[in-house]
Amino acid sequence: MSDREIDGNPEMNNIAVFVCSHIFENAMPILYACRDGGEWQFLCGEPHGNNELPRVIGLAHILDRDKSLSDIINLPDGFEAGRDFAGAEWKVSKMR
């Protein structure tokens, strides 16, 4: 468990987030994030099989893996953030 406090609230460490298999296996960088209905998703932007199900991990673990996510941790519900490659600046927009 991470000792990180998210938004000054250590309970946020326990929030479950959805990731694709590539992110779960740490095989690809996170290039897309969104909050929809209060739920977080972190994806790689690559195609996946039709039968692939999302994986669930803790928010603190994903933040430990990619420090740049702290730039978008306050992303409002109904918004998304994307970038072209790891290390690029996040572009935030309202979900359509």
% of the chain with per-residue pLDDT over 70:
88
Average pLDDT of the segment spanning 75-81: 96
pLDDT tens figures, 9-63: 666 678 999 999 999 999 999 999 999 999 999 999 998 888 889 999 999 999 9
Q: In what helix (H) or strand (E) does residue 42 lie, and over which residues does it extend?
A: strand 39-43
On the question of pLDDT at 3 being above 60, the answer is no
Q: How confident is the model at residue 96 (pLDDT cuts 50, 70, 90)?
A: confident
Q: Two tokens at 61?
A: 């673990």
